[in-house]
Amino acid sequence: MTVAITGLGLISCLGEGREAHSAWPAEPVLDETGFAPFPIHPLTPLKLEDHIPRREFRQMEGWQRLGTHAAGLAIADAGAGALVGQMDLMVAAGGGERDTTLDATLLAEILTVAPSDREAWLNRKLGEGLRPTLFLAQLSNLLAGSISILHNVAGSSRTFLGEEAAGAEALRVAHARVADGTSRIMLVGAAWIAARWDNLLTYAPWLQQNAWAPTAEREKLVPGSGAAFLVLEKLDAALARGARPLALLEEVRTDMVPLDTGAPDVSAAPFQAPAGALAVADATGHLMEAAFPMAVAMAALAGKQHVTGFGHRHGHFAATVKEYRA
Amino acid sequence: MKDIALTDHLGRPRVVVTGMGMVTALGLNLAESWAGLTAGRSGVRDITRFDTTGMRTRFGACVDLPGDRPGRPLPAGERVATLGAMAFDEALAQAGLTAPIAGPFCFGMPPIEIEWPARTAIREAATGADGMAMTLSAAELPGQVAGGELFSPAVVLARRYGTRGIPQAVTTACASGGTAIQLATEALRRGEASVALAGGAEASMTPETLIRFALLHALSNRNDDPAAASRPFSLSRDGFVMGDGAGALVLETMEHALARGATVLGEILGVGERADTFHRTRSSPDAVPVAGVMQDAIADSGLPPEVFGYINAHGTSTPENDKTEAMAIHMVFGEVAPPTSSTKSMIGHTLSAAGAIEAVICLMALRDQLLPPTINQDDTDPALNLDVIPHQARAVTGVKAALSNSFGFGGQNVCVALGVGL
């Protein structure tokens, strides 16, 4: 029943790979001007086109490119390339990415169009302006689809929608399926890009403006670009194929925060880290769907045992990670 | 009572259905929808809730709601939540259960975006049209971006029914409803709960999504005859027809259902799921992944293939899907395949809801021993070699199990095996 973490695919402002995400305390890498007044944690410079065939590259938007690359890192890190045919996949995703140039062009004009004519005007402009394949770059389940196509991951494939809670719930279900033996090997994670106005627009009321501050000293989010994928498998099966477990994932719990009081209180616990804890979001920025998978991965790397997380609107999560000793 | 097995061939808890609900273009509840489906009626018609001027496709299997006004349709998130509530309310009433439900909520739904009316409202309050001005404006207008709260319909419904844990807002495109059933079934088999809600709702028929699908050449553009546009397995099939709708199932372990004296309506016998690594919008032309999910679902049920006397096909009415699916069915069943209909010919392709709606249709067909037809079969494609139950519903006897196929854009394939009276 013991579930091992045998591979990590991590990308954030801290860099790429295990080592970049092992150093504590990590100095935050910030971009305070590119999307001012909203500070963000930018992605470490990556040449994704070196990792993704050109034909595929064109059919994806940024989060899919980032996510497929991180998924590939995790598969390689686990040495699990021979198992992709039976590998199950769980992805947490947001709403995809839009053609922000087209949006801005239409928004610059739309108020000059009489309200009664706007529907037909938009139909024409969208029909002329949208790139057909953009839809596929945008659909939430197409990160999973792209991972299957690029890395030949051919087991079951599920995508959960919904911010931080989706990432945590994906990890919980992935863990449960490996633990009960219905999945031989599981790839689970998410990717999110902060450096896009369409993504920032979606979270506008919850974003920190102007100066960056540590999570303990602010009430709002500082988003970050990043991706986190984990490979999970049963410890005995991992050892039998000669894999080297990084850590054991003992338990993942998720639940909704009771919200009977109505409006979420962003000054409450979600953004307050207990003393002595590693505040992952201080280092990587807030990675939305990828936030909890990243936190669990970094806890494993740091030898920490308990991981907690919260959604900015919904959900609280906890995981227990244990050091693996051969 | 003591003769009823509580576990399946692998010793897992049997997962049974005790409540069903459905909203389709043929009716706002299961009884009306089923009456329309078995009468071979089409629910496809011209779209009236928004302006379709200039669109390549101007029709769909619409479910318009009281909140829809011409030019001011409900936002997609509200439509998903409303349709979902209609279907789950019906299912829970049939099951004789009320909130709180002590199990998970597994819900296929589309990604919800900020739509153009909300985007325009943000623009009206903004100092400019660029990303910074729009985002600053939206920061002051939380009500407008609430529409962008990606899984809010699942949260709304999970609160309505008092389900446990994080609501699973599932998106595997056109397979979402099937995936939701699978996730709920697995949770019950694992013993995480004794009852679960599984279903899906779809409301992607918005101007921008209709335009996007049309740009992919995925939709029928038979604008002069909408009711004849969804014609799966025909020689003249030219694309799918979008549909609104919702399907809902109350799932319980057999033990839980019997203990509380619930009426068992049917059973989830097995599930199969495989990702296709071939292409984003096309199934592998060798049909191996599609045949594989059907084989996996049959194997999971522990029953021989010949027990399955009906297939509710994915049957989208696109040239490629129907060909690949027919090939896969023959790979699994040989030359003589079970009667296979596509109810999408009547209620369109309800995308995220289709897997749930069609699972309920399978259970109704088994209960009533009446297989719903595929309509618009003036020119059934002989090369497919399928008994598509053309035009009219067919009475049968002794059919106890059925398969429901769902294949998503992005290569996510699901098959659910259902039974009644086994």
Q: Is the pLDDT of residue B411 over 70?
A: yes
pLDDT on residue B122: 95
**DSSP character string of B97-150:** --SPPSS-EEEE-------HHHHHHHHHTSS-SSHHHHHHHHHT-HHHHGGG-T
Q: Do B412 and A169 touch (CB under 8 A)?
A: no
Nearest CA in chain A to B186: A177
**Ranges of each domain in chain A:** 3-96+139-323
Instruction: Output the CA–CA distances (angstroms, integers) from residue B389 to B38, B74, B326, B366, B375, in the order listed.
Output: 11, 36, 14, 15, 8
Residues of B with a known catalytic role: 174, 314, 349
How near does any CA of chain A get to the CA of B139, in Å? 4
Measured in whole angstroms, the distance separating CA B382 from the mean position of its chain's CA atoms is: 27
Q: What is the C-alpha to C-alpha distance for residues A165 and A187, in angstroms, rounded to an integer? A: 17
The fourth-level CATH superfamily of domain B15-112+149-419 is Thiolase/Chalcone synthase (3.40.47.10)
What is d(CA B142, CA A265) in angstroms, rounded to the nearest whole number?
14
Instruction: Tokens for B415, please give them.
Output: 């098959």
- Residue range B52-81: mean pLDDT, rounded: 93
Residue spans of the domains in chain B: they are 15-112+149-419, 116-147
Average per-residue pLDDT in chain B? Answer: 95
pLDDT tens track for B197-224:
999 999 999 999 999 999 999 999 999 9
Tell me the average pLDDT across A136-156.
Answer: 92
* Number of neighbouring beta carbons within 10 Å of residue A19: 11
The pLDDT tens digits for A315-324 are 889 999 999 9
Q: Do B165 and A132 touch (CB under 8 A)?
A: no
> Lowest-pLDDT range, A221-230, A269-278, B70-79, B369-378?
A269-278
Nearest Cβ partner for A166 among B114, B158, B169: B169
- Residue A263 confidence (pLDDT) above 70: no
According to the model, what pLDDT value does residue A219 have? 85
Mean pLDDT of B314-339: 96
Each residue's pLDDT tens digit, A203-251: 999 999 999 998 888 889 999 999 999 999 999 999 999 999 999 999 9
Chain B residues in contact with A123 (beta carbon < 8 A)? 51-55, 207, 211
Average pLDDT, integer, range B225-240: 98
Report ipTM for this prediction: 0.96
Per-residue confidence band for A274, with pLDDT thresholds at 50, 70 and 90: low
When CB atoms are compared, the residue of B71, B109, B278 closest to A119 is B71
The C-alpha atoms of residue B315 and residue B300 are separated, in whole angstroms, by 23
Chain A residue nearest residue B148, CA to CA: A202
What residues of chain B lie within 8 A of the CB of A142, using their CB?
280, 409-410
pLDDT at A272 over 80: no
Give, in words, the CATH class of A3-96+139-323.
alpha beta
Residue in chain A closest to B128 (alpha carbons) equals A108
Q: Do B215 and A160 touch (CB under 8 A)?
A: no
Comparing C-alpha atoms, which of B74, B101, B76 is closest to residue B88? B101
Cβ distance of A59 and B280 shorter than 8 Å: yes
Residue with tokens 């088994």: B366
Question: Which residues in chain A touch residue B188, judged by CB atoms under 8 angstroms apart?
Answer: none
Question: Is residue A224 within 8 Å of A31, Cβ to Cβ?
Answer: no
Nearest Cβ partner for B215 among A93, A132, A160: A132
A210: left (phi over 0), alpha (psi -120 to 50) or beta: left
Residues 152-191 of A with CB under 8 A from B: 152-163, 165-166, 168-169, 172-173, 176-177, 180, 182
